[in-house]
Every structure is written in C-alpha cells, then in structure tokens.
Amino acid sequence: MKKLSIKAKVTLWYTALVFLLIVVLLGDLFYFSSRVLYERAGESLSRVVEAAAGQVHFERGELDEREIGFYADGVSVFLYDDQGRRLAPRSGSGPKVNALLEDGVLKSSQDGGERWLVYDRYTQIDGVSLWIRGVTPDTGFSGPLGTMLLLALIASPFLLLIAAGGGYLITKRAFLPIEHMIGTVRSISGGNDLSRRIGGSGAKDEIARLGGTFDEMFDRLQTSFEDEKRFTSDASHELRTPAAIILSQCEYALEDEKSASELRESVRVILRQAKRMNSLIARLLLLARADNGRLQPEFEEVDLGELCAVVCEELEPSAKQEGLTLHQEIEGQVALTADQTLLMRLVTNLLSNAIRYNRPGGSVTLCLRTEGENALLSVRDTGIGIAPEHLPKIFGRFYRADAARTAERGGTGLGLSIVRSIAQVHGGSVEAQSTLGEGSDFTVTLPLRREENPGVCEPD
C-alpha cells in the first residue's frame, strides 16, 4: 500500500467505499423487502383463514362445506379435525403441505419441491374442535422485486467500474498541476536553468499556493546565485587590478639598471597597491564573517558622542583639503552598549563617503541624538547626491552608483555594505535619502541597550 501513488490510493478508497455502499444498500433492500413480502402474505393468509372460519358450520356434527370458500386471494384453505385428519376439501386437489399444525403461527414449508407459506388457526365451531389452515405459495423474490434485485446486482459491477474510473480521472486531473510542478522542478535542477518558473494557474487553492511559494523560493535562489556570481567576479576584478600593477612594477624594477629614485618610486607604487589589496581583503573578511554570523562584536559601554567627535577630528584635514566644512550636532551624551571599533568604522565609512562624494565649498553635517530606546546618527552632505534608481541598490556589495566617478575617487563599493552589516550586528538598521545634485542623508538607528538576539545580517 505504501508503494501506491496517491492517485491509486484515492481511487482504491472510493471504489471500496462504493462497493461497501452497494453491499449495504442491496442488503437492506433485500432484508426489508423480504420482511414486507412475508408480512403481507401473513396478513392475507390470516384474513382468508378468519373469513373461512366464519363460513364453517356443523349440522348434527356433520360439516356443511357449501358456504366455505376454499380458495381466495391465492390462498388455499384446508380444515383438519383435532387429530390432524383432513376434513375438507375432501378431494385431493391443492398443495400438499405436511407442516405441523400450530395455532396462530406463520411459517414457511417446503413440500414437493415448492415453498409454501402456512398459517393455522385452531378453533371450536358448533361444539366441534378443528384446525383451519391457509396455504399460499412462497414466491419470495421471483416477482418484480426479484427482477429489481437481479438488475441491481448486474448493475453493481458497472457502477463500481464507473466509480473507479471516474475517481481515477478526477484525481488525475487534480494532480496535473503537481505533475507540472515536478516537471518544472526537475528541469530546473537538471538543466540548471534557474530562470524557469512554475507559474500560477489562477486558482486560489493549496496547490496554486504551493506553486507560488516554490516560485518565490526560486526567485530568492536565483537572486542569491546571481549575487554570489557577481560578488566573486567583482572581488576577483578588484583584486586583479592592484595585483597587475604590483606585477608590472616588479618587472619594471628588475629591468636593466634602475636609479635609486626610480626603484623607490616603484616600491612606493607597490606599497600603495598592497595597502589597497590589504584593505579590500580586510573588508571582504569582515563581510564574510558578518554573513556567517561569526562577526562577534566586543560589547562595551561606548560614548557615541565622543566616538563621533574623534572620527570627525581625524577626517577634518581631508574635509579641509576638499574645501568642505564639517559640522557636528551632538545632543547631550549618547551612551550605548556596542563594539567601539566597529562603530568607529561605521562612522568613518559614512563620513568618508560624505566627503568623497561632495563638491568644493560644500558641507558635511553629523547629527547625533537619542529617540526613545534608540540612538539616531545621521550624516548629511551637500554633495552630488544619488539618482533614485541607484538608491535602493547602494548597500549591495561592489555596487557603485557612478562606477567611473567612484573609481576615480578611490571607492571600492563595499563601504555601505559594511555600514549595514555593522548596524545589523548591533540590532540596528541604516536608511538613505538622497536628491541627485543636492546631497544625501544617511541615518543609522542603533538600540541603546543590547538585545539578547541582535539582528541577523542579511547578505545582499
């Protein structure tokens, strides 16, 4: 049974049910019809016997047969004396039934290869004791009822066949979407074509919902596979450029005679590229740890106001160099439980971006305040801004709104991913608002008190 398909199981179940129904119905029909027939025959027998009793007379001990109806409504009447000897009719015609005489009992008797229904009545008429017996053929189911039962019995196997066939076809139809689903899933896993979808049938049943859920899962899988592919290719591309520069500088330095200053310049270039690679690898490692849940912040009491002031002080020279003014709006003391090093990196990334993507004469404003149970840190700039189509994607890895301009400004496309991961491991979040050509505003929300289960990092 375990090896049968659901279609076969459902069909078997319905067929068995129909079979049981037919057996019960026919059984009931047979039982109740035979009872009705038996009772009707009994009534007719007793009526004829009673009528005959009213017609029996004895004159001076001699039976007067003239008025007795010995045959009525298919019932033959016989009279016996109290010794069981037949009194009338005297001729030997009529059914020969040798059943025992029993007063008021309706019984069935087999005589001469035929079945009879017999009813006896013991009575006293004109001082003579006698038995009056009514006998009628026991037709049983040989009449129209029998024909009906026979027809029902003949029809039963056909009914069973129709039930089984119909049930199988209906379940087969009902399972068609599942067959389609199996086919699609097989072609996805066999052909590695993640773009295929099951698609809805328009119905709102469970199977359609299952198909929809599979499609959502394939959407997520496709996005995550594509992200992973893009991430690997972006990461190799990012590492390839400095590696190529280092290689070419090394080859150049080893060529012919080189002056000491030329060699120093080559080493400087190599050092710059090595630092770039080192920083890129460190960033990638941090993101990988955050994805695997292995980025374990070292929580301690941090004065976020002081931390922001320190970062601002560090970045002040580069802001000045770009002709920018750096403002701080820190409301009171904002103390929270967090990882100081990670928060420092978060603030640095946001402020560096605000400086990097600004315009000469522009400004950068860092605001810090508490709101309820959270610290709100926002970094606002009057820079180049981000176009609306790029805004939802800027937290993605290696995503650059304006690749040429970003590369020119030394960006790697990982800064905001790191900001988001750091906010998430602290149970917080980050949002960006921006108007192209006017400036951007990045707001980080961080809970003041550490939660037991800080937010899980969502890989892009």
Residues in 417-436 that interact with ligand ADP by CB under 6 A: 417
Question: What number of H helices and E strands is found in the chain?
Answer: 9, 15
Contact between 401 and ligand ADP by CB under 6 A: the answer reads yes
CB of 390 to ligand ADP, least distance (A): 7
Q: Judged by CB under 6 A, which of 181, 342, 416, 444 binds ligand ADP? A: 416
- Cβ atoms of 362 and 382 closer than 8 Å: yes
Q: Please tell me the count of residues contacting ligand ADP according to CB under 6 A.
A: 23
Q: Judged by CB under 6 A, which of 181, 286, 311, 414 binds ligand ADP? A: 414
Which of 22/347 has CB closer to ligand ADP?
347
Q: What value, to the nearest 5°, has the Cα angle with vertex 362 and ends 361 and 365?
A: 140
Which of 378/417 has CB closer to ligand ADP?
417
Q: Which residue is nearest to ligand ADP (CB)?
A: 411
Q: CA separation (Å) from 252 to 76, 186, 192?
A: 136, 55, 46
Which of 79/350 has CB closer to ligand ADP?
350
Instruction: Output helix, strand, coil percentages for the chain, rounded to the nearest 5.
Output: 50, 20, 30
Q: Judged by CB under 6 A, which of 50, 138, 215, 402 binds ligand ADP? A: 402
- Cβ atoms of 383 and 347 closer than 8 Å: no
Contact between 406 and ligand ADP by CB under 6 A: the answer reads yes
CB of 241 to ligand ADP, least distance (A): 14
- Phi, psi dihedral angles at 99 (to 5 degrees): -65, 155
The residue whose two tokens read 């049974």 is 1
256: left (phi over 0), alpha (psi -120 to 50) or beta: left
Per-residue binder mask for ligand ADP (CB under 6 A), 165-204, x = binder: ----------------------------------------
Residues in 361-400 that interact with ligand ADP by CB under 6 A: 381, 383-386, 394, 399-400
CB of 414 to ligand ADP, least distance (A): 6
Which of 406/443 has CB closer to ligand ADP?
406
Which of 406/429 has CB closer to ligand ADP?
406
Task: Determine the Cα–Cα distance for residues 339 and 342; give it in Å rounded to an integer.
Answer: 5
Segment contacting ligand ADP (CB under 6 A): 163-171, 273-281, 298-306, 351-359?
351-359
The two structure tokens encoding residue 445: 């929300």
Per-residue binder mask for ligand ADP (CB under 6 A), 310-349, x = binder: ---------------------------------------x
Which of 339/460 has CB closer to ligand ADP?
460
Q: What value, to the nearest 5°, has the Cα angle with vertex 260 and ends 259 and 261?
A: 90
Q: Judged by CB under 6 A, which of 167, 362, 415, 447 binds ligand ADP? A: 415
Range 88-96, long-range pairs (CB < 8 A, 24+ positions): 88/63, 89/65, 90/65, 94/70, 94/135, 95/135, 95/137
- Cβ atoms of 300 and 340 closer than 8 Å: yes
Task: Determine the Cα–Cα distance for residues 17 and 28; give it in Å rounded to an integer.
Answer: 16
Which of 397/426 has CB closer to ligand ADP?
397
Which of 319/354 has CB closer to ligand ADP?
354
Q: Residue 79's beta-bridge partner residues?
A: 88, 132
Task: Determine the Cα–Cα distance for residues 29 and 140; give it in Å rounded to an integer.
Answer: 13
Which of 171/352 has CB closer to ligand ADP?
352
CB of 186 to ligand ADP, least distance (A): 40
- Cβ atoms of 25 and 107 closer than 8 Å: no
Q: Residue 76's beta-bridge partner residues?
A: 71, 135
Q: Judged by CB under 6 A, which of 295, 354, 430, 444 binds ligand ADP? A: 354
Residues interacting with ligand ADP, by CB under 6 A? 349, 353-354, 357, 381, 383-386, 394, 399-402, 406, 411-417, 440
